[in-house]
Amino acid sequence: MSKPNAWVTLATNDGYAIGALVLAHSLRKVATAHKIHIIYTDGVTPNMLHQLQSTFDDSTLVDVLDSKDEANLALIQRPDLGVTFTKLHCWLLTQYAKCVFLDADTLVIRNADELFERPEITAAPDMGWPDYFNSGVFVFEPSEETYHKLVQFGLQYGSFDGGDQGLLNLFFSNWRELDARHRLPLIYNLCASVVYTYMAALKRHGDQVKIVHFLGAQKPWLKGGPTPLPAFWALWFAIYDEKVRGTVPSDIEGPTSDERRQAWEQGRPDYQGRDAFENIMKAIEKSLS
């Protein structure tokens, strides 16, 4: 029997675990044929871990890897992201033939199983510096050897942003020169916080978007309000409301229903209840056409 493939995500605390739960439900909603695996650390509380284990197909406890690189993390204004070195553990999941890593702040809104046909390393350009790839969505092949090389490389050269993205882009430094199969269209990693700078392209391609990424310090599970594309936040909350709220130990401090209602102005679909996700998707499609 050949090995299966898997979507892989990471959570080192309960906040990101909520993101991971919504992500896993989004993958089920689009009927993926592949396994869904989470790597987590002991920063996730037991109750939350129970929810993760009943939602994901499998899970792996790993140690925190932290770059502790305060100087470079300050450059991206994200002192919290040193722990993203923990992501490297995903290369140890050798029970799978191929994997797609997804940040816990992503949401899969259309089936994207064709990603498993891509080779290592495949990713989309980073919106801040498109010569580098964004490490919130990437295709990789688990291998102990690659894992050890990555860790060695990290110890020797560090990371220019203090997080995994800086390290992975140094390690896979020829990504930009690789053939087209290695470069994903933005519909596989649409940064909800950035793309408003190019609404014309969004209007043209928005109805093909498959994976949304809530990149940046604002996250749907944190107080602070939606990014410039509130419709995508509304999709996240539709899944959160339907599948996750109530199952998590203490409710998260997200926007209130009123705040969400204000945020969601276009189309005014019935954004609550069972059909919320489908209604919002239809409204997005309508507003883009």
Binding site for ligand GLC (CB under 6 A): 81, 84, 103, 134-136, 161, 163-166, 215
Q: Which of 229, 289, 282, 230 is nearest to 255 (CA)?
A: 230
**One character per residue 184-223, x = contact with Mn ion (rule: CB under 5 A):** -------------------------------x--------
Q: Choose between 59 and 134: whose C-beta lies nearer to ligand GLC.
A: 134
- Which does residue 16 bind out of Mn ion, ligand UDP, ligand GLC, none, counting CB within 5 to 8 angstroms by kind? ligand UDP
Q: Choose between 9 and 279: whose C-beta lies nearer to ligand UDP.
A: 9
Cα–Cα distances (Å) from 58 to 9, 36, 141, 244, in that order, read 11, 7, 18, 18
Rule CB under 6 A: which of 79-138 touch ligand UDP? 80-81, 83-84, 103-105, 136
DSSP state of 4: P
Examine residue 161 and tell whether it contacts Mn ion (CB under 5 A).
Answer: no
Total number of residues that touch ligand UDP (CB under 6 A): 16
- Which does residue 59 bind out of ligand GLC, ligand UDP, Mn ion, none, counting CB within 5 to 8 angstroms by kind? none
Cα–Cα distances (Å) from 7 to 1, 46, 56, 122, 141, in that order, read 19, 23, 10, 14, 12
Q: Choose between 125 and 136: whose C-beta lies nearer to ligand UDP.
A: 136
| Separation CA 244–CA 273 (nearest Å) | 13
230-239 helix and 276-288 helix, angle to the nearest 10 degrees: 160
- Which does residue 161 bind out of ligand UDP, ligand GLC, Mn ion, none, counting CB within 5 to 8 angstroms by kind? ligand GLC
Q: Choose between 22 and 276: whose C-beta lies nearer to ligand UDP.
A: 22
Whose tokens are 């269209």? That residue is 185
Cross-strand pairs, 101: 8, 138
| CB contact set of 202 (below 8 Å; sequence gap of 6+) | 195, 196, 288
Rule CB under 5 A: which of 128-147 touch Mn ion? 136
Q: Choose between 127 and 234: whose C-beta lies nearer to ligand UDP.
A: 127
Residue 99 neighbours by CB distance under 10 Å: 25
Closest residue by beta carbon to ligand GLC: 163
| Separation CA 39–CA 221 (nearest Å) | 19
Rule CB under 6 A: which of 133-162 touch ligand UDP? 136
- Which does residue 14 bind out of ligand GLC, ligand UDP, Mn ion, none, counting CB within 5 to 8 angstroms by kind? none
- The DSSP-derived string for 223-256 is SS---S-HHHHHHHHHHIIIIITTTSSS------
User: What are 166's two structure tokens?
Assistant: 């800086």
Binding positions for ligand UDP, rule: CB under 6 A: 9-13, 16, 80-81, 83-84, 103-105, 136, 215-216
Binding positions for Mn ion, rule: CB under 5 A: 103, 105, 136, 215
